[in-house]
Amino acid sequence: MACFTHHANPMIPMNTYRLLLAAVLLMRGPLPLPAWQVGPAQPGKPARTVHPTHTGRVTFAATDIPPGKHQPADFLTAYALTPRSQLYMTVFLGKPLLEHLRELAPERTAAALDSLGSYQFTFYVDDQRVNVVNMPPGNVETATKRTETIVRKPLIARPRQRTWGESIWNIFLMSGGQQALTEGKHTFKLEIRPFLQLPQRITGKVIAEGRLEMDVRLDPAIDPATVQLQTPQPYAGLAVSHEKFDVNRIRALKGNTDAYVFKDIASVVVLKNGKLLIEEYFNGADRNTLHDVRSVGKSFASTAAGIAIGEGFLKSENQSLKEFYNLKQFANRSPQKDNCTLKDLLTMRAAFEGNDDERESAGNEEKMYPTADWVKFTLDLPVDSPRPAGEWHYFTAGVVLLGDILHRRVPGGLEQYTDRKLFAPLGITQYKWQYTPQKVVNTAGGIRMNALDFAKYGQLYQNGGKWNGKQLIPKAWVDKTFTRHEAVPGRKNEYYGYLFWNRTYQVNGRAYETYYCSGNGGNKIFIFKDQPLVVVVTARAFNTPYAHAQVDKMMEEYILPATLGKE
């Protein structure tokens, strides 16, 4: 089970943002290798030839056209790029890729050409080259390279299909395409060449190309008067608020979400002064939907640690790993590992060589998930000597380690403990954990519950750890959690607490600081420091570049201006 994360949370200019909404992200980890759409073929021979009038063309269509079903009218010459657009390409080659690669290096064996060669895609807008995408050789199957003469891939699909076609489109957008494809009319062109990495790159001539007149319309007009908001109803533990808010602004938010300008959103819930002010659902979700919020679940590990310390099952967050494990039994023993503290795990500053933002890092989470024992995987890691001591780095495996320590120390194990001490007092009964291979609740992320129960969790922190007059989380722990322990490298004025993020939004020239949980796909629980607001956004934009950026836009341009009130 992989718990994908997405940590980048940049502020993106409007024209950049709108085009990112049309893309899917290049997935972390190896790209999928779907079979090419071909008929039976003899080994080493093309599966079929294509009609001479199509050879060397990249054609575009608004729907997926099966092989052999192409009609001239299906191929687009003009296209409107809207928030709900789909765009498919079909490439007609005169011969398979291997034959083109053989022309570049005839002395190489077929096996060598398979391992070293692939497709190169060059993108143009208005006859200006925007960028070049080199498909990694390993992402195209050997059989594909040797037999395929028709390539069919979506560039934009609804719902997303997670193919390399969507990936190269997304890379194009992120590498200058979004700036080039401003609102209005443009000419789009795509060229395909073979290339070999020897290790220097050798590129062949164009083997297929296509042009498309593109009308970019990613900013639909929304009439708030035509949008109906849901009227919140009481929920266990949450009364309905009757405070005023900017209804038209929230209608505009809902209209843009329904129009798919804000993509893959499942819910938006706002509590003000502890009461339910706004409750909206999208894309088939409702009050009972259990949302997959990914790394939002990390924050629950921090909560459990604070409760366990308050009850004496842990002494403090300053305890070191050598108090919980016999580290002599694990690889790469070092004093830094012995002295790594729970606080280091809570603040993402542990000395382990593990960084989820670096694909090649030994401790990257994607290398942990396939292993049989995630705790052993983590404790076997070396320490990261090249990185400055104490520097922040996103380290999911460290939160798994924290969860294992909690599971060992609290009575009944971590699942029963959190139910008794946290969920039952909050009235949360419908939820689901994911588990490690050792059947311990997975604190890397993935707990599922409905949006209103996530809102109650956020309100618990807004209340300083108190619920219905009972102190569930020690107030001192909430204060420590909501402290800027570490600056997040590469981000301006963003910080990290105890498995909570920190940032400040700017609205109408004023600053509004928030601590928040964050998970892949754009899942958030915001607790504002100086405002009586809790905001929950759940979403399914997993592994996309727009997931977090669009939530920032929703907050700064819609939710906060609508709910802050006049000051």
67-115, pLDDT tens digit by residue?
Answer: 777 777 889 999 999 999 999 999 999 999 999 999 999 999 999 999 9
Q: What is the CATH number of the domain that holds 379?
A: 1.20.58.710
The pLDDT of residue 4:
30
SS3 state at 245: coil
Question: Mean of the pLDDT values across residues 232-247?
Answer: 97
Same structural domain for residues 277 and 369?
Answer: no
- Among the candidates 175, 192, 216, a domain finishes at 216
Show Cβ contacts of residue 521 under 8 Å, excluding neighbours closer than 6 positions. Answer: 6, 264, 292, 293, 294, 539, 540, 541, 542, 543, 544, 547
Same structural domain for residues 139 and 229?
Answer: no
SS3 state at 311: coil
Backbone φ and ψ for 471, nearest 5 degrees, come out as: -80, 100
Residue 3 lies in a domain: no
The pLDDT of residue 565:
74
Q: How many domains does the chain have?
A: 3
The pLDDT of residue 329:
97
The pLDDT of residue 264:
94
**56 CB burial (10 A radius; 0-12, 13-18, 19+):** middle
The strand pair at 208-216 and 275-281 is best described as: unpaired
449-485, pLDDT tens digit by residue?
Answer: 999 999 999 999 999 999 999 999 999 999 999 999 9
Same structural domain for residues 193 and 340?
Answer: no
39-51, pLDDT tens digit by residue?
Answer: 333 334 444 444 5
- Among the candidates 199, 216, 233, a domain finishes at 216
Same structural domain for residues 354 and 501?
Answer: no
Closest CA to 234 of 185, 274, 182, 281: 274
Same structural domain for residues 452 and 474?
Answer: yes
Same structural domain for residues 436 and 526?
Answer: yes
Same structural domain for residues 183 and 270?
Answer: no
The pLDDT of residue 385:
72
Residue 515 lies in a domain: yes
Are 142 and 109 a contacting pair, CB within 8 Å? no
Helix axis angle, 451-462 to 296-310, nearest 10°: 50
- Whether residue 521 is predicted with pLDDT greater than 90 in this model: the reply is yes
The whole-chain average pLDDT of the chain stands at 90
Question: Mean of the pLDDT values across residues 252-269?
Answer: 97
The pLDDT of residue 51:
57
Written as six digits, the tokens of 163 are: 């193919």
387-417, pLDDT tens digit by residue?
Answer: 788 899 999 999 999 999 999 999 999 999 9
Q: Which residues, listed in sequence order, are joined to residue 58 by a DSSP beta bridge?
A: 91
- Whether residue 1 is predicted with pLDDT greater than 60 in this model: the reply is no
- Whether residue 557 is predicted with pLDDT greater than 60 in this model: the reply is yes
Residue 261 lies in a domain: yes
- Among the candidates 379, 409, 439, a domain finishes at 409
Written as six digits, the tokens of 409 are: 């120390």
Question: Mean of the pLDDT values across residues 33-37?
Answer: 29
- Whether residue 260 is predicted with pLDDT greater than 70 in this model: the reply is yes
SS3 state at 154: strand
Residue 126 structural domain: 22-34+43-216
Same structural domain for residues 498 and 514?
Answer: yes
- Whether residue 155 is predicted with pLDDT greater than 50 in this model: the reply is yes
Please report, for the chain, how many H helices and E strands are present, in that order: 19, 22
Closest CA to 363 of 381, 350, 351: 381
- Whether residue 19 is predicted with pLDDT greater than 70 in this model: the reply is no
Residue 5 lies in a domain: no
Residue 492 lies in a domain: yes
156-192, pLDDT tens digit by residue?
Answer: 998 888 899 999 998 999 899 989 999 999 999 999 9
Q: What is the CATH number of the domain that holds 504?
A: 3.40.710.10
282-307, pLDDT tens digit by residue?
Answer: 999 999 999 999 999 999 999 999 99
The pLDDT of residue 545:
79
The pLDDT of residue 9:
37
Q: How many CA atoms lie within 13 A of 321 on its CB side?
A: 29
Same structural domain for residues 64 and 148?
Answer: yes
The pLDDT of residue 538:
98
Q: Tell me which of 33 and 197 has the higher pLDDT.
A: 197
Residue 11 lies in a domain: no
Report the predicted TM-score, pTM, of the whole model to 2 decimal places.
0.85
Measure the N-to-C terminal CA separation of the chain; round to a whole number of Å.
48
Same structural domain for residues 461 and 547?
Answer: yes
Q: Tell me which of 122 and 64 has the higher pLDDT.
A: 122
Written as six digits, the tokens of 7 are: 């940590």
Same structural domain for residues 405 and 392?
Answer: yes
Question: Mean of the pLDDT values across residues 498-512?
Answer: 97
Same structural domain for residues 111 and 188?
Answer: yes
Residue 303 lies in a domain: no
The pLDDT of residue 566:
55
Residue 311 lies in a domain: no
